[in-house]
Amino acid sequence: MAGENRVRLARVYTDPAPDEGKRVLVDRLWPRGMKKSDPRVGQWLPAVAPSTELRHWYDHKAERYEDFAARYTQELQSGEEAAAFDELRALVKAGPVTLVTATREVELSHLTVLAKLLA
């Protein structure tokens, strides 16, 4: 957790905890098998997620994590991505947020980068 316990990380397929605050899906693609009305999703901010090119390059390889984190952080600094990140930052300031993703390995995902940036 980061930001004085204001940011939590979870898989989108898990049920929300009563105290986790607002859920925000930060994937470019909609999770498989989930309806748009599924309460496990919450708000969707696809522009905060890594670009398709970066996601494919990274491929969740642990040895690439540091480079991935640096490249992803740069992506969040301009254009549509920067505006979406500012929106996410405002949500965190307003109250607890749980960032969710369909990614299996949350600890090696973009969520950990976001949590550090939002701390």
What are the pLDDT digits (tens) for 24-76? 999 999 999 999 999 899 999 999 999 999 999 999 999 999 999 999 999 99
Q: How many domains does the chain have?
A: 1
Q: Which domain holds residue 62?
A: 7-118
Residue 2 reports pLDDT greater than 70: no
Per-residue pLDDT of 68-99, as tens digits, reads 999 999 999 999 999 999 999 999 999 999 99
Any residues with CB less than 8 A from the CB of 105 and at least 6 apart, and which?
60
Q: At what angle do helices 79-94 and 110-118 cross, to 10 degrees?
A: 60
Residue 109 reports pLDDT greater than 90: yes
Look at residue 18 and tell me if it is in a domain. yes
pTM: 0.91
- Per-residue model confidence (pLDDT) at position 5: 61
Which helix (H) or strand (E) covers residue 80, if one does?
A: helix 79-94
Look at residue 2 and tell me if it is in a domain. no
Helix-strand-coil percent breakdown of the chain, rounded to 5?
Answer: 45, 15, 40
